[in-house]
Structure 1
């Protein structure tokens, strides 16, 4: 399992789907927002939690199609399917590798980008916490979407259409945690909802993704 994780991380970086691409897109979103809404500090501070969460979500989409596509193209996915490792474990490891190369760098960079949007000081810790809780769900849901579209030519657009509706609850509660934290309000309810979504996705979707992959490999 450890060898598979290290292999997937190396493949993600070499294939151009590592942290650099996601961070660059995240930075572009954050930089362009003030040009669109104007340099109004009060307005930027109010919308900063939602913009940062939306930017992180869209940045995660960029590399979802590479979760299984590279293994499908070179035949490694067939070998993995016949290995002693359970398919559910393989899906979980690939989702973890995606989070380490995409989600975690976004979490670490979000406070720096928050400065550009005039995020209130009280909101930084809640922004980091919400991203730490929510981005694993984005990777697991993305792995499920990637499993559905594996083997399809130009399946990136279809993958985005399938995954984006599933991302909406995570986006809503994640941005709400950051917004309430920035305004000094109680964050317990959206924080628990966000944690519940992530735990539910991590518990159920690897089995669904594994079942889809078995069907696609027949």
Structure 2
């Protein structure tokens, strides 16, 4: 019976964050627009040749997803910090890390999942092989939770700092590099017709590890910021 309040709190936080996100559709669309805008500018600055686009497509799509994920991180804790909700979470009987995990899930549903769903449009625009799009989407689905989890740790440490966006980027961008390497590598291998199961398994393992440890680290960072 003791598990029911725990799961009740988890789904209450999840529903709350989803409802708040749906009330601001403009902010909800910002990461997707940014994602599409970055990827669409590359052909203008590099080359519009189909073969060139196909070669750079995996890296461009993953860099665009990384940056779009980064700019959306401010929405995760900032509002709750400013209105005192985070203090209530810290005083709740449920572990703060558990509530952070609920917020991470809500954040991925409103930012990470849309990036996965619009990635076929970018693939088509970048002359990426259509037969490799499922592997591209699978890589993004496994990698974007890692980006969100790592970003949450950095944001937890900087949430009390005004205009901490630059500091957040300096903290988390080095941590994003392995995800970028394996994610773009899996997309490139899929485009070349090579097996991608190894890279996808690594991304899956990274996702499980990040979602297990990052909420604990983020909760500790939030307590430091709240003190």
Shorter-normalised TM-score: what interval? over 0.9
Unpaired runs of 5+ residues, structure 1, are none
Q: Measured at CA, do residues 163 and 17 of structure 1 come closer, stay the same or move farther in structure 2, by a change above 3 Å?
A: farther
Q: Aligned partners of 1:6, 1:204: CA distance in 2, in Å?
A: 23
- CA drift of 1:61 comes to 0.9
Greater Cα offset, 12-21 or 153-162: 12-21
1:176 partnered with 2:201: no
- Render the CA deviation track for 1:162-199: whole Å, top value 9, x for unaligned: 11111110111011111101111121322222122111
Counterpart of 1:191 in structure 2 is 200
- How many angstroms does 1:10 deviate by? 2.7
In 2, Cα distance between equivalents of 1:208 and 1:17: 30
Alignment equivalent of 1:137, drawn from 146, 149, 173: 146
1:17–1:66 distance in 2 versus 1, CA, 3 Å: farther
Q: Could you tell me how far apart the structure 2 residues matched to 1:73 and 1:20 are?
A: 23
Return the match for 1:79 from 77, 88, 95. Answer: 88
How far apart, in 2, do the equivalents of 1:174 and 1:97 lie? 22
Q: Aligned pair 1:118/2:127, yes or no?
A: yes
Aligned-partner SS, 1:197: helix
The yes-or-no answer on 1:148 pairing with 2:173 is no
How far 1:143 moved relative to its partner? 0.9
Equivalent pair of 1:96/1:139 in contact (CA under 8 Å): no
Distance in 2 separating the partners of 1:34 and 1:3: 44
Q: Return the offset for 1:84.
A: 2.0
Which residue matches 2:73?
64
Which of the residues 21, 26, 38 maps onto 2:30? 21
Q: Kindly provide the CA deviation profile for residues 58-109 of structure 1, in whole angstroms up to 9, marking residues without a partner as x.
A: 1011121221110110111111111122101111111111111100000000
Distance 1:94 1:67 in 2: 7
Cα gap change, 1:206/1:17 in structure 2, threshold over 3 Å: closer, same or farther?
farther
Q: For 2:39 and 2:224, locate their aligned partners in 1 and report how far apart those are by CA, in whole Å.
A: 40
In the alignment, which of 153, 162, 169 is matched to residue 160 of structure 1?
Answer: 169
Whole-angstrom CA distance in 1 between matches of 2:100 and 2:27 = 18
Structure 1 residues 189-215: Cα deviation after superposition (integer angstroms, max 9, x where no partner): 222221221111111111111111122
Q: CA deviation at 1:17?
A: 7.2
SS of structure 2 residue aligned to 1:119: coil
RMSD: 1.4
Structure 2 CA distance, aligned partners of 1:92 and 1:61?
Answer: 18
